[in-house]
Amino acid sequence: MRTLEIESLDFEKGGGLIPVVVQDYRSLRVLTLAYVNREALKRTVETGYAHYFRRSKGKVMMKGETSGNVQRVLDILIDCDQDALIFIVEQKGVACHLGEETCFHNRLKGAESLKERGRTEILKKPPEEEHGHS
């Protein structure tokens, strides 16, 4: 794994913002998708707590600043194009402002059949190609 400087990140592509996948360090569940500008990322590294650029408010805020549901950041990963990040976090309380553990608590209509189709295909494979599935 390579180590990259903050200066190598591509903030320009997203108009000054980079999307951040926020993932729980223990369950590996994706908690939310947020955005950082340079300032939010610098504050995150400095404090060890997730800071995001809140598009609806137009400013940098510490996650949990008002709710107390802060995110202790344990790792920051960068993708191959340097235009997306992962924060590995320890979430205090819940991530979603609606009280759910993760913000991703809705399913797209039609997705149930994808699951069934996919499972059928995976099960059909010869044993040497078969993958574990839950």
Taking the complex as a whole, the smallest distance from the CB of residue 16 to a second copy amounts, in Å, to: 14
Give SS3 for 62. Answer: strand
Contact residue for a second copy among 61, 62, 69, 104 (CB under 8 A): 104
Burial class, 51, CB count within 10 angstroms (exposed 0-12 / middle 13-18 / buried 19+) = buried
Question: How many amino acids of this chain bind a second copy (CB under 8 A)?
Answer: 60
Taking the complex as a whole, the smallest distance from the CB of residue 65 to a second copy amounts, in Å, to: 18
User: Could you give the CA distance from residue 91 to residue 77 in angstroms, rounded to a whole number?
Assistant: 17
Q: Is 131 in the site for a second copy (CB under 8 A)?
A: yes
Taking the complex as a whole, the smallest distance from the CB of residue 92 to a second copy amounts, in Å, to: 10
Both tokens of 131, joined, read 């993958």
